[in-house]
A = this chain, B = another copy of it.
Amino acid sequence: MKIGVIGGGQLGRMLALAGTPLGQQFAFLDPAPDACAQALGEHIRADYGDRDHLRQLADEVDLVTFEFESVPAETVAFLSQFVPVYPSAEALRIARDRWFEKSMFQDLGVPTPEFADIQSQDNLDAAVKRIGLPAVLKTRTLGYDGKGQKVLRHPEDVDGAFAELGSVPCILEGFVPFTGEVSLIAVRGRDGQTCCYPLVHNSHEQGILRLSVASTNHPLQSLAEDYASRVLDKLNYVGVLAFEFFEVDGGLKANEIAPRVHNSGHWTIEGAECSQFENHLRAIAGLPLGSTAKVGESAMINFIGSVPPVEQVTALADCHLHHYGKAFKAGRKVGHATLRCSDSAVLQARIDEVMQLIDKG
C-alpha cells in the first residue's frame, strides 16, 4: 500500500518510519525543497494547491492523509474525487477553524471556555463586555505554537487588537484558570473501533510545547475518553485525533483538537505498545488498531531551535533521540527525546538531565 501525505515535515517522517515495517510506501507533497520526510519516500515538490501535482499524487497512492490541519479545503475536495482521504474533508473543516471547533464542542456537551466569533473590532468590544478580561483573541484559522493569538489582560490591550491580528476572522476565548494542560491522543478505525492513549500532561515554554509526560491512572481519563468519543463519532473520524484540554476545578474544558498525529503523542514511539504513528496508519489503512497501553513510564522533551550534540543525548540513560534532520532555527521544533523508565522517580531524574543538556546549549 502506498500512502500520500500532504506535508513532508517531521510528522510525515515519523509516519513513514512507522509505516515502512508494515510494508507501506510513502509519497509526500510539500513545496519545501528540504522537507525532512523526503529521506523516507518520494517527494513531490509542489504547492498545496497545485492541481497537476495533486492529481499525480492521487494517481500514485492508495489513500491520502495530512500532516497538518491548515490544508486548503479545495485541496482536500479535489483529492477526494480521486482517492480516499483520511481524515475527511469535514473533520478538517471543523478542526482548522476555532469557531467551528468550539461550536461543535458546545453542541456535543463537551465543556469549553466561553467564546465569541469576532469579525470586527466592534464584535471584539462587545464580546469583551460579555466574557470579561483576561481573554485570548485568536485567529480562527492558521494559528499554531502560540502564533496568531494575543492575550488581552487590560482594557487598553483590547483597542486595535483585531487589526493587530490582521483583521481576519477571530475568536475571543475566556481565560480559564486552569491547573494543568492535558492532551488525549485518540484513534478511530474505519470500522469505528476507538482506542485512547493515557492522558498526557503538557508544559509549554513561550507558547511551544516543551514537555509531555504520560500519566498513569489519571482520574480524568474516562471523562476525557467520553468527550473524545462524542467528537470522533460525530465526525465519523478515521485516524488519530488529538484533544487538548484544560484541567479546571477537577474537570476538563476542551481547548482544541488536531486532526492528525500530535507532538504530545511522540512519546508513544517507545512508550506505548503501538505508537500514534503506527495507529494512525493502521486506522486509515483499514487495519486493526494496536494497543495503546504504556510500556514503562514515559516523557517527551522537545528540542526547539537546535538539537544538543548527538553524542551527549545518546549518552543519557533511558533516552531515545529523534532528530528530524531539519535546519536549526530559533523557535523551530527540530527534534525530541523520549524517556522511558521503570518508574516515575527515575523518569523525573532523567527529565532533569535532558533539561540540563538543553540549558547548556
The interface of chain A, by Cβ under 8 A from chain B, is: 13, 17, 20-23, 25, 39-41, 273, 282, 286-288, 290-291, 295-296, 307, 310-311, 314-315, 317-318, 320-323, 325, 335, 340
Contact = CB atoms under 8 A, between A and B. Distances in A.
A325 B23 contact: yes
A167 B272 CA distance: 54
Given A39-B40, A41-B39, A295-B295, A314 B22 contact: yes
Of all A-B residue pairs in the complex, the 8 with the closest CB atoms, nearest first, are A23-B323, A288-B315, A21-B322, A287-B314, A288-B314, A287-B311, A23-B325, A22-B321
A185 B98 CA distance: 53
A299 to B, nearest CB: 16
A290 to B, nearest CB: 7
Contacts of A282: 314
Contacts of A307: 23
Contacts of A323: 21-23
Given A23-B335, A288-B311, A288-B314, 18 more contacts: A13-B20, A17-B17, A17-B21, A20-B39, A21-B320, A23-B307, A23-B323, A23-B325, A25-B39, A39-B40, A40-B40, A273-B318, A273-B340, A282-B314, A287-B314, A290-B314, A291-B317, A295-B295
A20 B17 contact: yes
A38 to B, nearest CB: 11
Nearest to A322: B21
27 contacts: A13-B20, A17-B17, A17-B21, A20-B39, A20-B325, A21-B320, A22-B314, A22-B321, A22-B323, A23-B307, A23-B310, A23-B321, A23-B323, A25-B39, A25-B325, A39-B40, A39-B41, A40-B40, A273-B340, A282-B314, A286-B311, A287-B310, A287-B314, A288-B311, A288-B314, A288-B315, A291-B318
A24 to B, nearest CB: 8
A219 to B, nearest CB: 25
A339 B319 CA distance: 22
In this complex, which of A17, A21, A41 has the most chain B Cβ atoms within 10 angstroms of its Cβ? Answer: A21
Nearest to A288: B315
Contacts of A23: 307, 310, 321, 323, 325, 335
Contacts of A40: 20, 39-40
A321 B273 CA distance: 12
A324 to B, nearest CB: 8
A21 B14 CA distance: 9
